[in-house]
Amino acid sequence: MMHHSLTIDQDVCWGCTHCMKQCPTQAIRIHDGHAHVLSGLCINCGQCLHACPHGAIRIEQTPFGEVTRYARRVAIVPAIFFAQFPDTYTIPHICQAIRQLGFTDLYLAESGVDVLNQLSPRIIPKTGLTISNYCPAVMKLIQMRYPLLLEDLTLRRPPSQIMAMFARAEILAEGVDAQTIGVFYFTPCAAKIAQIKTTGSDESRLFQGAINMDTAYNKVREYLSSHKTPDPSLPDGFTFPGCTASALLWSTVKGECIGVTERAMAVDEMHNVIDFLEQLEEDENTNLNFLELDACAEGCAGGVLTVRNRFLANERLRHWAQSLPSELDDALQERIDQYQDIIRNDMEMERPIPSEALVWDTDTSKAIHKMENSRMIANALPGIDCGLCGAPTCRTLAEDIARSEASIRQCVVLKLKDPKLMNQLSKIWGDRSLGKGLYNGSDVS
Ligand code: SF4
Ligand code: SF4
């Protein structure tokens, strides 16, 4: 069962419905003046966190103190973390700060792109479409809503997983006890935290914890503000020697399309992704060979745990990329060669299976009956999706009613008896919505 990384602080939540309106999978309901998440529908995209004006939504993380439980403390840091900082702080200076937080080994997540490209050059079929599996929020969405597209997913492990494997292999080769190695991922992404905290997942096997990027940023920034220049006596730089220019841009929009010579396209932002997947499901013939989908605007630079303006962050990445080589350097190549067998044996993920969003009933005939009921109830509701009932749309209220999770009494419009109020509402929504279905002026409570 997928872990959920978001929680709503009921003491802070006002039930204002901002989150409910933004949720792309209609996973939020308002009850008793507070928002609640239907965990089966949530894909951990974090859009609700962005939408909440009261700061009531929190993203879980591994307590920072967990890091000190391990003798070898490995940070897998994506390039976008370094891009959170203004140019006044150099990459080595930031690396030094991360080490001063207690990490003994530092790997750039994007080095994993070079490892992947080296060990398994991407083969895009000449016909048919391959969809990137990189963004975990999109992958969960496909599992839930577009299961027919699961066949088209690429199964290569994401670069962060590859580097977690690489780091462990290098440190084990030093003769270190496996139990004393802790690998932590600095993440901009609520969906990644959910993966890492899901028992039995690949991520929970490869990472001992996730550090939220905003937390790590604040800690590093605090160190940097009291250590204005790098200390030459302290180690800086990555344990693993960097990456190529194209690898560095992997998490930006079109980053994965770089190097795909066939027809490739990128779509970012969840509502665009959903629009496009709807079209694909309707058998739109795109002639595309590769499709990159990012839940966040501007890719991971727009991740919910980032702190900097996403355009500035991506600009910093592009600037950094200009100073990097276009080909693997010898140091990188040598280390890849050394551990290639270990990585090669575990480079592919299992194909994800469909996950049911709404459980109507464990009994199939009852489930079909409830689905039919929900369609009838939806026809009876006004269809104006006002949200006053605490569900995002009339259709979701109808589904909740059919599953005995809500009552038709929650529909405020159906309960209106005052002709003056009805007249006012019909000026806004028209007579058709208000006169449709059950409403006939009689008491429906
Ligand atoms: S994380 Fe995304 S899917 Fe889950 S409740 Fe928030 S907006 Fe909805
Ligand atoms: S675009 Fe990046 S940060 Fe956003 S959900 Fe996907 S992987 Fe996470």
**How does pLDDT run across 128-151, given as a tens digit for each residue?**
889 999 999 999 999 999 999 999
- 47 CA closest ligand 1 atom index: 7
Ligand with minimal distance to 59 CA: 1
Instruction: Give the pLDDT score at 23.
Output: 96
Q: How far apart are CA 80 and CA 94, in angstroms?
A: 12
What 3-state class would DSSP assign to 91? helix
CA 100 to chain centre: 29
Angle at which helices 136-145 and 270-281 pack, to 10 degrees? 40
pTM of the predicted model, to two decimals? 0.89
Res 62: pLDDT: 84
Of all ligands present, the nearest one to the C-alpha of 306 is: 2
Separation of CA 380 and ligand 2 centre (Å): 39
Runs of H (alpha helix) within 147-296: 159-172, 190-197, 202-206, 213-226, 245-248, 270-281
Query: Using CA atoms, how far apart are residues 383 and 30, in angstroms rounded to an integer?
Result: 18
Query: Do the Cβ atoms of 133 and 348 come closer than 8 Å?
Result: no
**How far apart are the CA of 230 and the centre of ligand 2, in A?**
31
Chain centroid to Cα 65, Å, comes to: 25
User: 293 in helix, strand or coil?
Assistant: strand
26 Cα to the center of ligand 1, angstroms: 8
Which token pair is 233?
């006596």
Q: How many CA atoms lie within 13 A of 92 on its CB side?
A: 10
In short, whether 295's Cβ falls inside 6 Å of ligand 1 is no
Question: What does the pLDDT read at residue 13?
Answer: 95
Ligand with smallest separation from the Cα of 267:
2
Q: Are 37 and 8 in contact (CB under 8 A)?
A: yes
Q: What residues contact 147, with CB distance under 8 A and at least 6 apart? A: 354
pLDDT the model gives residue 441: 41
% the chain with pLDDT above 70: 94
Q: What is the pLDDT of residue 121?
A: 66
Query: Residues 86-124: pLDDT tens digits?
Result: 999 999 999 999 999 999 999 999 999 999 988 876 666
Q: Which ligand is nearest to the CA of 40?
A: 1
Q: In DSSP terms, which residues pair with 306 in a beta bridge?
A: none
Identity at 41, one-letter amino acid code: L
For ligand 2, pick from 42, 133, 135 the residue to mutate: most ligand atoms within 8 Å of CB. 135
- How far does residue 132's CA lie from ligand 2's centre (Å)? 12
Q: Which ligand is nearest to the CA of 141?
A: 1
Q: Whose CA is nearest to atom 8 of ligand 1?
A: 23
**Residue 77 Cα, ligand 2 centroid: separation in angstroms?**
14
Question: Do the Cβ atoms of 27 and 38 come closer than 8 Å?
Answer: yes
Task: Give the pLDDT score at 315.
Answer: 97
Decide: 23 in ligand 1 pocket, CB within 6 A.
yes
Residue 209: both structure tokens together: 């914890």
What residues contact residue 336 under an 8 Å CB cut-off, 6+ apart? 114, 115, 118, 119, 328, 343
Ligand 2, from 43, 300, 306: best to mutate by most atoms within 8 Å of Cβ? 300
Token pair, residue 317, equals: 């990445």
Give the per-residue pLDDT at 442: 41
Residues of the chain below pLDDT 50: 436-445
For the chain, the maximum distance between any two Cα atoms, rounded to a whole number of angstroms, is 82
Ligand 1 centre to CA of 47 (Å) is 6
Pocket residues for ligand 2 (CB within 6 Å)? 45, 135-137, 188-189, 191-192, 294-296, 299-300, 303
